[in-house]
Each structure stands twice: as structure tokens, then as C-alpha cells.
Structure 1
Amino acid sequence: MLVLAFDTATAAVTVALYEWSPGEGVGRRGAAEAVDRRRHTELLTPSIAQVMAEAGAAPGDLSAIVVGVGPGPYTGLRVGLVTARAMGEALKIPVHGVCTLDIIAWASGRETPFAVATDARRKEVYWARYDSKGVRATDPAVGPAADVREDAPDDLPVIGEGAELYADVLGTRGQDPAPLLPSATALAELAVARLSGAVRTTMLPPEPLYLRRPDAKEPGPRKKVTPA
């Protein structure tokens, strides 16, 4: 079973191809990573093609697609979701979603409580708290970095790009906030763990977790002009 995974909800454009054989484990066939906050559209499709070519695989070989659903800024996030849904429809294969914060949590390997915070711009973060790498304790949220600490232990570790950007607010200066961004390798491994039942958390539909309205708005009705 070949699983193609990618995420564009942050500055990272990350793609991975994994092979999963129930009862025989999981193996990575290829991966590509790039960090460019403004070029998700230009980077994603070539990265997918590169990973598939390096693995000697064709689109028809894929069994499933897994995509990060955010939370994240509207423009970057929709690139991955539109691509995933279009590929899934064309290939007639299932498309699964995973919260992007969960991807970072999984990659951390942590087994004790912590929080993940990513850059939401507007001096805010997307965040959630976790009991361990595979168990999220709160729903994803967006707000000032100080919200991450509200009603939480003072020594709760915080990881992700938000922990680096707002180290003074979060009290994380001098601590290791890695991983800062999601990786498709972690996404694929987490997805397989969920699909196989090793982690008892259901997959999400490939729908965006925006948490707030996009900056772009539809124009309102035209104002009437009254003659002077």
C-alpha cells in the first residue's frame, strides 16, 4: 500500500511517499522538504513529481493520500487541500486529513505533556496541548501566545515555530522548540499508525481548519451616489 503525504499549512512545503504492508511495517520510499512561505503553489506539484519519480512509482500505484488540514493561513493551506482532493478524485482513492499541529506533536516523540504552537501571523499562534505525541488534550485554537500558558503548568514545554517566535511570552527562551515545522515523513507515519489502529484517533476529512476568516473578503454592495 503506497501512501502519499503532504502538508502546506505552514511555511514548509513537505512531501513524502511511504509503503505500508499490514503486519510487515512501514518504509519510506521518498521525501522532499522546502521552506518558502510564498511559493506553495509553485513548489508542491514539482515536489510530488520528484518524490514519485525517485521512488519509481506512478500515480496509479497510490492507495491513499494524506494531507495536513491546518490550522494554517488560508492561501498556503488551500494549495495542499485542493491538490489532495483533485488527485484523490482523479485516481479514485481515499483522501484523509490530519491536523497539522498533530504532525509536529508526533514528530517530537514526546511521551509527557507539552504544547505545540505555530505562527498564525497578526501576532498570534495556532496551538494545542498534548498529553503525549499521539494524544491531543485540547482542540486546536488561535490567539495570542499567552493563551497557550493559560491554566497550564508553568513548566509545560512548548514546541513549534510559535515557541521560537514568542519565546519571551511563552518562557521558552533557551529551550529547544524543535520540531519547528511539520514534516510529511511524520505525517505519513502518524497516518499509518491511525489507519492501522496503533493510534486510536480517527482520521479527518480533507477539509480546512482555518479557525478564523481569511483576510480576503468579498466586496460589499455598491454605495449609492447621491447627486450634490
Structure 2
Amino acid sequence: MILSIDSSHGTSAAVFSNDCLSFVSFDDPFGHAESIGLAIEKALSEAQVSVEQLTSVAVGRGPAPYTGLRVGMAAATALSKARSLPLLGVITLDAIAYAAGEKDLLVVTDAKRKELFAATYKAGKRLQGPMLLTVNALGSYPGFDLIEQRCNAKLIGSYAQMALQSGIDLNELSALYLRSPDVTPSAGKKVSG
């Protein structure tokens, strides 16, 4: 039984046991911290599954903007450690590509600042990326079908389930930001003297 969590764009959680048993999503792009616990609680409740029945936790590790991604990864890490469950890290672009089928794809998600997070796939295998592209660079990938889609916990869980069955390693757990945060600490005032 897999609990999947994604906060790369909105906040969502899903429960899988062969099929998706429940899926809960909140679209507030700034309310990750407020909704992550509720999403997990509702997903477990709707699936009629207790935390004790879980066998692993899967989490989207980006690429995505800094703050939202950190919330989902922290929640997944805390739950997996508290329950001694394996934590599975899923690249969000891989999950989107898997759902689209074994085609030649250029998968992109919104990175803000007129940029896109992107990866290319051939017959289901990632060729390039994850990388950061400008919108103008999309024309540099002829022969690839463009998929622009937001990721969610349902896609993360589906990919994680397939990966476990296929022996794909999901042990890499570092977050993929691909650029520095939008907000950084101030350097402070310079005082002369």
C-alpha cells in the first residue's frame, strides 16, 4: 500500500494498492503547508486505510519551485521516518511521461519567470533533463510531442507502483529545483564608518 504525496504545483495525496484507491487535491499554489496534512488525512480516510497499513511513501521531488516542493518532501520524509517506511523519490516529469505512454515526448511544467522545467523521452525512457528551458527554446525539439501538464500525487503513485514492480531505483531523494529560490535573505544594510 503506497501513500503518494506531491506539492510541486498544488498539494495532493493518493493511496495505491494496485489501483488508485483515493486521490485528494488542493489547488492553492501558496497553501502547501496548510493543506498537506489535510490532504494526507483525507486520502487515507477515503481509501479506508490506516497509516499502519502503508508499505511505502512516494513523493514528487521536482523539478518545481522551492517552497512548495519542500513542504511535500518534508511531510513525506517525516511520515516515512516515523513509521519506518521506505521513501520513494519520483521525478515529476517522469511521472507525467509515464502516464502519457511510450512516445517521443517533450514534457514541460511551469517554472515561473517565463521558464519551463523540461525533459525529453523516447519510447518511455528519459533522454535529456530535467532541465530549465525558455518558452522560445520549445522549437528546438522537433519530432517530440509536447506535453504540458501539472503533476499530482495520482501520477506520482502510479509511477512509483510501476517502478517498484519493474525494479526501477527510486532511492534518490534530493529535491530538484534547477534554480535558486525566488526569495532570498537580504544582505543587510551597509554601514559606513
- Same fold, judged at TM 0.5 (above): yes
Q: Which residue of 1 aligns with 2:146?
A: 158
Q: Which residue of 1 aligns with 2:138?
A: 148
Residue identity opposite 2:65 in structure 1: P
Do 1:103 and 1:190's aligned partners in 2 also have CA atoms closer than 8 Å? yes
Deviation at 1:40, TM superposition (A): 1.4
Deviation at 1:221, TM superposition (A): 6.0
Q: Which residue of 2 aligns with 1:4?
A: 3
Q: Percent identity?
A: 31
- 1:56-205 correspondence to structure 2 within 5 Å: 56-109=48-101, 111-132=102-123, 134-150=124-140, 152-153=141-142, 155-160=143-148, 180-197=149-166, 201-205=168-172
In structure 2, how many angstroms separate the alpha carbons of the residues matched to 1:104 and 1:192? 14
Give secondary structure in 2 for the equivalent of 1:137: strand
Aligned length: 193
In structure 2, how many angstroms separate the alpha carbons of the residues matched to 1:159 and 1:108? 8
Give secondary structure in 2 for the equivalent of 1:206: coil
Q: Which residue of 2 aligns with 1:44?
A: 36
Do 2:95 and 2:158's aligned partners in 1 also have CA atoms closer than 8 Å? no
Query: Which residue among 1, 20, 30 is the counterpart of 1:28?
Result: 20
Given the two structures, how large is their TM-score scaled by the length of structure 1?
0.79
Q: Which has the larger radius of gyration?
A: 1
Do 1:71 and 1:209's aligned partners in 2 also have CA atoms closer than 8 Å? yes
Write out per-residue CA displacement over residues 172-228 of structure 1, whole angstroms, 9 at most, x where no aligned residue.
xxxxxxxx211322221211111111xx642142221011111222333652322xx
Give the structure, 1 or 2, with the largest relative contact order (CA under 8 Å, sep 6 or more).
2
Q: What is the RMSD computed on CA atoms of the aligned residues?
A: 1.7
User: Which consecutive unaligned segments of at least 5 residues does structure 2 have?
Assistant: none
Given the two structures, how large is their TM-score scaled by the length of structure 2?
0.92
Residue 152 (structure 2) pairs with residue 214 (structure 1): no
